């Protein structure tokens, strides 16, 4: 495991749901909820949808825009069908003005 | 509680019963040998080999035991003894019920009356309804294999997209003048047809297959009503589904286009309910109707569970259907027949929404790679308030504010 910089807080532009890409990885979705940050993979485990671009945040749940499946962004747990496979959720660390996540 | 049928409606009903705190016994009859699974991937990711059987399970294997739901796999129910309140399985076992839920779904419709199209074609003749059906397609998904799809509905078009992406050839023969006519107005069908043509699918509209002949080599010659002939390796009959009402008949329940139920999923027979594809139900907005779609199977199954527990809130969902073909996610809400169609966005860019308007209000929407329009459209359809066509088409206006 390594701590990898994902983005600067400024990159989020105050949006609660943002797609972030870094070299060598599939895109991530960054959620800002009540001043806390959460990060999951961005591509839904069910279809090929981008959760950040096409989803909608409802509390701690992200609803996918394609088929209305849902995940808990804190744990990645799939909580509404048709999603049944969890989405990967990453431990987040804020250092200075940047967001870091634990990557393998 | 006894639930017959372990598709999405039956499993959703069982899950909702537990969620709502029902503590009694639940037995779920599944006539297939595999644990209940989700059907949409059968014409897409599962057929393509991108998803495994485990990936498409409706619930994890251990879930049924955890939820104290007795899952009777590979057990077909032959008849209902409504007098005694029992179901009788094909293997002769009897199970008593306090309440019975028929969630028997639908079967692929057969195409009759085409000479040569029948059992003699053996494994080369397909329909798509079960995981076994999809496995048989997957087994022949080799580059160069030539598929004929009889019927350009959702299953035919999804599977056509899947097979050409696997390097196979696909021809779709559709009797109507447009593909997916039940789902889309003509302009959306034309858009989607162009996408298929661009991906190498051949589409023959307004014609039918009239004769099928198999050569000793196994190759199949197909004649069309318009005189065309083609040679293929596999034929997929995808001409819709018929509700599986056989069990309802044995219970002497009223059957029309499906098993007739009221707004609370009750059939004409005491203590027997029906939900999902098989049920013709009473909808506050649309009257007596029967729907075949994923979301309805889920929600109507859940509704049946709540009705069983005494909660009779009306079932007033708006129909919602999706299909994924190539890199397109297409969703339809509500209805489009008899409507004026307003396009928002650029169809040539493959990202747009078509709103369906009648009587000055929104009746439905078809959303192509434009999911941000879904929630606002759903609200407008539900509200039934007057809408302005010009405003809907104006991309400068935020759709959420209309």
Q: What's the pLDDT at B13?
A: 98
pLDDT at B53: 95
**8 Å CB contact of A66 and B371:** yes
Tell me how close the Cα of A30 comes to any Cα of chain B, in angstroms. Answer: 18
Contacts of B58 in chain A (CB under 8 A): 81, 84
Rounded distance, CA A24 to CA A80, Å?
30
Per-residue pLDDT at B120 exceeds 90: no
pLDDT tens digits, one per residue of B40-57: 999 999 999 999 999 999
CB-based contact (8 Å) between A15 and chain B? no
* Biggest distance spanned by C-alpha atoms of chain A: 39
In the A/B pair of chains, how many CB contacts fall below 8 A? 35
Q: Is the pLDDT of residue B199 over 90?
A: yes
Q: What is the ipTM of this complex?
A: 0.83
Q: Which residues of chain A make contact with B331, given a CB cutoff of 8 A?
A: 66
pLDDT at B312: 78
Distance CA B224, CA B207 (A): 7
Q: Is there a contact between B55 and A85 if contact means CB atoms under 8 Å apart?
A: yes
Structure tokens that stand for B103 in this block: 């969630």
Q: How much is the average pLDDT of B75-97?
A: 97
**Res B150: pLDDT:** 98
What per-residue confidence (pLDDT) applies to B376? 94
B55 inside 8 A of chain A by CB: yes
The whole-angstrom separation of Cα A87 and Cα B232 is 41
Contacts 24+ apart (CB under 8 A), B307-313: B307/B264, B307/B265, B307/B266, B307/B273, B308/B1, B308/B17, B308/B22, B308/B99, B308/B101, B308/B273, B309/B17, B309/B20, B309/B21, B309/B22, B311/B20, B312/B263, B312/B264
Residue of chain A whose alpha carbon sits nearest to that of B44: A47
Cβ pair B222, B184 in contact under 8 A: no
Average pLDDT over residues B364-375: 95
Question: pLDDT tier at B119 (50, 70, 90 boundaries)?
Answer: confident
Instruction: Tell me the C-alpha distance between B398 and B344, whole Å.
Output: 11
Residue A49 to chain B, least CA–CA distance (Å): 9
**pLDDT tens across B288-322, in order?**
999 999 999 999 999 999 999 998 788 999 999 99
What gap in Å lies between CA B238 and CA A69, rounded to an integer?
Answer: 27
Taking the Cβ of residue A86 and every Cβ of chain B, the question of whether any pair is shorter than 8 Å is answered with no
**Average pLDDT of chain B, as a whole number:** 96
| Cβ within 8 Å, pair A81-B298 | yes
The partner residues of A18 in beta bridges, in order of sequence, read: A30
Q: Rounded to a whole number, what is the distance in Å from the CA of B326 to chain A's nearest CA?
A: 11
- pTM of structure: 0.93
Residues near B125 by beta carbon (within 8 Å), at least 6 away in sequence: B117, B118, B119, B234, B235, B237
Among A43, A46, A57, most B C-beta atoms within 10 A, so best to mutate, is A46
Residues of A in contact with B12 (CB under 8 A): 81
Q: Virtual CA dihedral for B44, B45, B49, B52, nearest 10 degrees?
A: -130
**Percent of chain B's residues with pLDDT above 90:** 96
Instruction: Name the 3-class secondary structure at A50.
Output: strand
Q: What six digits make up the tokens of B373? A: 């329009």
Q: Residue range B33-42: average pLDDT?
A: 96
Cα B37 to its chain centre, rounded Å, is 14
E-strand stretches of B122-186:
125-126, 146-150, 169-174
Nearest to B172 by CA among B198, B153, B199, B192: B153
Contact: B60, A85; criterion CB under 8 Å: no
Partner B contacted by A49 (CB < 8 A): yes
pLDDT at B145 (0 to 100):
98
Burial class (CB in 10 A: 0-12, 13-18, 19+), B258: buried
Percent of chain A with pLDDT over 90: 87
Beta carbons of A81 and B40 less than 8 Å apart: no
Mean pLDDT of B84-89: 98
Pair of tokens at residue B57? 């399970």
CA-based nearest residue in chain B for residue A86: B55
Whether A65 contacts chain B with CB within 8 A: yes
Range B270-295 burial, b when 16+ CB lie within 10 A, else e: eebbbbbbbbbbbbebeeeebbbbbb
The answer to whether the Cβ–Cβ distance between B371 and A81 falls below 8 Å is: no
Average the pLDDT over B78-91 and give the result: 97
Identity of the residue in A49, A81, A85 whose CB atom sits nearest the CB atom of B329:
A49
The answer to whether B375 faces chain A, any CB pair under 8 Å, is: yes
Once rounded to an integer, what is the mean pLDDT over residues A29-56? 94
Q: What is the mean pLDDT of residues B278-294?
A: 96
Can you tell me whether residue B317 is helix, strand or coil? coil
* Cβ-proximal residues to B22 (8 Å cutoff; 6+ apart), any chain: B1, B305, B308, B309
Whether pLDDT at A44 is above 90: yes
- Per CB-CB distance under 8 Å, the chain A contacts of B59 are 84
pLDDT in tens, B320-335: 999 999 999 999 999 9
Q: Chain B within 8 Å of A85 (Cβ-Cβ)?
A: yes
Residues of A within 8 A of B165 (CB-CB) are none
């Amino acid at each position: 495991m390594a701590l990898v910089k994902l983005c600067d807080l400024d990159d989020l532009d105050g949006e609660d749901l943002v797609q972030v890409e870094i070299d060598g990885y599939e895109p991530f979705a960054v959620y800002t909820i009540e001043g806390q940050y959460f990060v999951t993979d961005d591509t839904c485990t069910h279809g090929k949808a981008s959760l950040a671009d096409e989803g909608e945040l409802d509390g701690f749940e992200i609803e996918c825009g394609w088929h209305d499946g849902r995940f808990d962004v804190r744990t990645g747990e799939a909580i509404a069908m048709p999603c049944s496979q969890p989405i990967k959720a990453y431990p987040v660390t804020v250092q200075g003005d940047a967001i870091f996540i634990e990557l393998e | 509680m006894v639930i017959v049928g372990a598709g999405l409606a039956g499993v959703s009903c069982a899950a909702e019963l537990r969620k709502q705190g029902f503590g009694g016994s639940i037995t779920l009859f599944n006539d297939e040998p595999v644990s209940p699974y989700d059907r949409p991937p059968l014409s897409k990711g599962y057929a393509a080999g991108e998803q495994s059987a485990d990936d498409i399970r409706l619930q994890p294997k251990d879930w049924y035991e955890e939820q104290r739901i007795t899952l009777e796999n590979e057990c077909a129910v032959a008849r209902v003894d409504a007098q005694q309140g029992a179901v009788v399985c094909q293997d002769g076992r009897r199970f008593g019920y306090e309440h019975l839920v028929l969630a028997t779904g639908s079967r692929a419709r057969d195409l009759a009356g085409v000479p040569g199209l029948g059992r003699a074609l053996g494994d080369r003749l397909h329909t798509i309804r079960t995981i076994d059906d999809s496995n048989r397609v997957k087994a022949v998904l080799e580059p160069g294999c030539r598929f004929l799809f009889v019927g350009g509905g959702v299953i035919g078009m999804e599977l056509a997209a899947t097979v050409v992406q696997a390097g196979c050839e696909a021809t779709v023969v559709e009797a109507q003048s447009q593909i997916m006519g039940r789902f889309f107005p003509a302009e959306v069908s034309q858009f989607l047809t162009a996408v298929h043509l661009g991906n190498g699918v051949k589409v023959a509209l307004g014609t039918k297959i009239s004769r099928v002949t198999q050569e000793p080599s196994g190759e199949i010659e197909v004649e069309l009503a318009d005189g065309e002939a083609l040679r293929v390796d596999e034929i997929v009959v995808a001409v819709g589904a018929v509700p599986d009402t056989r069990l309802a008949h044995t219970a002497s329940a009223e059957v029309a286009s499906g098993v007739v139920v009221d707004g609370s999923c009750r059939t004409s027979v005491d203590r027997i309910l029906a939900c999902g594809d098989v049920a013709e139900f009473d909808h506050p907005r649309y009257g007596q109707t029967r729907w075949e779609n994923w979301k309805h199977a889920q929600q109507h199954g859940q509704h049946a569970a709540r009705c069983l527990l005494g909660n009779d809130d009306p079932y007033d969902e708006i129909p919602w259907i999706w299909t994924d073909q190539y890199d397109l996610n297409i969703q339809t809400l509500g209805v489009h027949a008899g409507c004026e169609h307003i396009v928002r966005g650029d169809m040539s860019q493959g990202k747009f929404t078509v709103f369906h308007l009648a009587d000055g209000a929104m009746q439905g929407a078809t959303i192509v790679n434009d999911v941000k329009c879904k929630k606002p459209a759903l609200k407008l359809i539900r509200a039934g308030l007057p809408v302005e066509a010009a405003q809907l088409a104006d991309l400068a206006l935020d759709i959420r504010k209309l």
